[in-house]
Structure 1
Amino acid sequence: MTLISIVALAAIGGLLGGLLGWASKALKVEGDPRVDELEGMLPGGQCGQCGEPGCRQAAEAMVAGKLGPDCCPPGGRSLAQSISSLLGVALTEGGEDIPVVARIDESLCSGCTRCFKACPFDAIVGANRQMHTVIRHVCTGCRLCEKACPQGCLSMDPVAPELHTWQWPKPKVA
């Protein structure tokens, strides 16, 4: 009796597995490969500053033409230029953005934990009623922590050029 039950369950499992394998090939929906490439280029923090709930939805909206290539504040101007060249869309002229990083004023911080809960990149570490700190090389400058801080102890400071981040200035068009 037990042997018959095992064989029956194995046969049902094999039949359902084969049916699912066939359905995955027969009912496959082809997507735009540019969406996958754009999603790989975006920061992936799901911060929502572009107006979409996540980076995948933002990539789909950019390919559909609903969002411009400069819609991602954490990505900055260099990401916008890469996206515009990938999509073949003209980038609106604007000033060169200055990269910023969050800084916590320790004298004002009460350790409320709202800032690191708001950070989609896990760039802020700390514990409840303890001092928090920002991991500078992880922070993208998305400003979500600054909006979440009730004490106003977070500020966004420009990133000082260092040896590994400095670039030649772009030439001015005369």
Structure 2
Amino acid sequence: MSNFDPSVVKAGENHTTIEETENQVSLAYGMAIHELDIILELVNFIQEPPGDDHEALKAYRDQTAKDVRRLLVRVNISSGILKARDAQFHYHAKRLRTTDRIDRLRLWNREKKQELEAARLRDGERGFEAASKRLEEQKRVVIKCYKLESLWDKAMQREKSAGTQVDDLSSDCETSMEE
């Protein structure tokens, strides 16, 4: 029953198998390769320069500048997606190592926020809205089903107080969503 309660430590949860680690690394590399494929596709749109026609060279220069700007935007988006997924992974790993139920809820919440950030960067605002609705529903169900209302309130209070002080949970998590 408590398999989905993010605040409860499960037996053996702070140990990962080689296979689980391999799957996480494989997923990370797969995402990075996918992002690089998108960038490579954009690079392939850049065409050969035309002959000696002055007007054609000007048009080529303008088009190349536009392509490079588009490529730069895509590189920044890809970087943001990978940073958000990296932070999500670190929050997940940190949550698995933490026994304090309040901190586990905080880390679970941050992990889900990074998942939202990756969805926003990957799928735009529409994807973000859909993912946000799913996350809010998931939070509501988890909090209700496991009777975590008071624990959730304490976690959110601790999160607010951490916002005014040095953050105690993200020491080794590179985040793209600074609050």
The interval holding the TM-score normalised by the smaller chain is under 0.3
More helix by share: 2
Which of these two proteins has the greater Rg computed from alpha carbons?
Answer: 1
TM-score, reference length from structure 1: 0.20
TM-score, reference length from structure 2: 0.19
